[in-house]
Amino acid sequence: MSAMHFSPSFSILLEKQSSSVVTGYIAEDQLRQQSLSYLSDKIVIRSSVQAPILNAEVSKGKRGFPSLVISRIMNKLRKGDFMYKMIVSDLDESLLNDAGQVSERDRATILRLQAQQIKFVPNTGRGFASVQALLKTIGTYQQPDQYVISYNGGVVVANQANQILRHHYLPFAVADQLYRLALAEPDLGIHLYTVHHVYVRNLDANEVSYIKSRGVDVLPLTGADLSAFAKRPIVKIIMKNLDPEKLAAFRARAERQVAEPLTVTYSSNRYVEFNPANVNKGSATLELGQALGIKPEEIIALGDNDNDFSMIQAAGCGVAVQNAVPHIKEAANLILTANNNQDPITEIYQRLFQ
């Protein structure tokens, strides 16, 4: 999504409502000077300054878009009637750099956002136990009224005492069938996620190094089936291979053989992930927002990969890092110039909160 930038401090984003998107930052004085007839019959006005997307549809009349309607929307923005209240962020390849760390600059920005009463919620495929060090870094560890969305939306946790607020588990029979299917593929690594632990099998040196860099503690997974886990909640199961065609082939085979509907996504350019049907980062974002009295249009979501798609769509402002996969960029309202190594949260703050 490309954009033209102008010097006036207040600007709005115009987006064509169709499968092909025409966007640009248009200065207020330019809105008054042109009919915008080169756009579609209807446009959606979106604010780029401390405000969520406005679902304010402006219809074009015979003389173009009515300046009075646009002026009224601009006035509402000036009065501060709209404000982002929460940022949900993917971790790996989004917030975190290639070393698996949040930059010092982004850490300072997150603390600044929290001082402004804007919640910052990790929204990750990982388990919540593995992000405790990160929570200490960003100042939300064991803090009241702070949260983590984990396991691709499978578990929503209040940070204080790690209280589980919402959970969605895989049926045991489904997890067991997926596990046995993966065992038949010797080139697939397997990760099994219970509420508090990650169990792994058949990991190569590359995967061992990757997990270590993310600070994730794992336990060995053995056995020809998952009977040892029959009495334990299983949140999700994922398979690893660096070849996307092999992951896609396993996904197709699993979807043919497993009768139960599933949510299937890809992540980190190495995993295919299986969650219960209708469980994803987007639905969990909306669940948490509703519980906190935060509307979808008051939420920003940052992501890079397929398992972030649902939250990019669900949030009022979906943001893609520069290293995001193509369909995430296509779905996003804002594409950063920064990749995950270049302080993406700081760029969001500069573009949407200053």
For residues 212 and 306, membership in a common domain is answered with no
| 8-state DSSP, 267 | E
Percent of the chain with pLDDT over 70: 77
- Coil, helix or strand for 26? strand
Asked if residue 296 belongs to a domain, the reply is: yes
Q: What is the pTM of this model?
A: 0.74
Domain boundary (78, 102, 133) is at 78
157 and 195 in a common domain? no
3-state secondary structure of 167: strand
- Looking at the fold, whether 248 and 302 belong to one and the same domain comes out as no
Please provide the average confidence, as pLDDT, over all residues in the chain: 82
Reported in sequence order, the residue ranges of the chain that DSSP labels E, i.e. its strands, are 11-16, 25-27, 42-47, 53-59, 86-89, 119-122, 147-150, 155-158, 163-167, 189-194, 198-201, 219-220, 234-240, 262-267, 271-276, 299-303, 317-320, 334-335
For 17, which DSSP code? S
Pair 109, 240 in one domain: no
Largest alpha-carbon pair distance within the chain? Answer: 72
pLDDT at 75: 53
The answer to whether residue 57 sits within a structural domain is yes
The per-residue pLDDT for 316 is 87
**Number of structural domains the chain divides into:** 3
CA distances from 231 to 125, 167, 171, 234 (A): 23, 16, 11, 9
State which residues form the domain around 235.
172-276
From 149, 154, 132, select the one nearest 141 (Cα to Cα).
132
Cα gap 125→151, rounded to integer Å: 4
Say if 228 falls within a structural domain.
Answer: yes
Beta bridge partners, 61, equal 64
pLDDT tens for residues 295-319?
A: 998 999 999 999 999 999 999 889 9
Residue 247: the pLDDT is: 97
Task: Output phi, psi for 348, to 5 deg.
Answer: -60, -45
Buried b (16+ CB within 10 A) or exposed e, 24-47: bbbbbeebeeeebeebeeebbbbb
Contact between 321 and 305 under an 8 Å Cβ cutoff? The reply is: no
Q: Is residue 4 one of the residues assigned to a domain?
A: no
Residues 83, 298 contacting (CB under 8 angstroms): yes
Would you state the pLDDT for residue 333?
A: 85
Do residues 219 and 348 share a domain?
no
Residue 87 in contact with residue 300, Cβ under 8 Å? yes
In contact, 84 and 299? CB cutoff 8 Å: yes
- 345 assigned to some structural domain: yes
Q: Are 240 and 305 found together in one domain?
A: no
* 6 lies in some domain: no
Q: Work out the angle between the directed axes of helices 244-257 and 172-183 (0-180°, nearest 10).
A: 130
Task: Tell me what pLDDT residue 71 has.
Answer: 52
Other Cβ atoms closer than 10 A to 245: 8
Q: Are residues 127 and 160 in the same domain?
A: yes
**Is residue 164 domain-shared with residue 284, that is, in the same domain?**
yes
Q: Is residue 3 part of a domain?
A: no
Residue with tokens 């043919």: 256
Same domain, 94 and 61: no
Tell me whether residue 5 is in a domain: no
**pLDDT for 41-90, tens place per residue?**
344 444 443 333 343 444 444 444 444 444 554 554 444 445 789 999 99
Instruction: Kindly list the strands in the beta sheet with 147-150, ordered across the sheet, starting from the edge strand earlier in the chain.
Output: 147-150, 155-158, 163-167
CB 135 within 8 A of CB 147: no
pLDDT in the model for residue 66: 44
Q: What is the pLDDT of residue 65?
A: 41
Regarding whether 288 and 249 lie in a shared domain, the answer is no
Structure tokens at 303: 């992501």
**Per-residue pLDDT tens for 108-166?**
999 999 999 999 999 999 999 999 999 999 999 999 999 999 999 999 999 999 999 99
What CATH number corresponds to the domain at position 272? 3.30.1240.10
Same domain, 189 and 265: yes
Among 276, 302, 320, identify where a domain stops: 276
CATH code where residue 304 lies: 3.40.50.1000
Instruction: Give 217's contacts (C-beta < 8 A, 6+ positions apart).
Output: 129, 130, 197, 198
Give the domain-ending residue among 78, 107, 125: 78
| 329 and 316 assigned to the same domain | yes
Average pLDDT estimate for 199-221 = 92
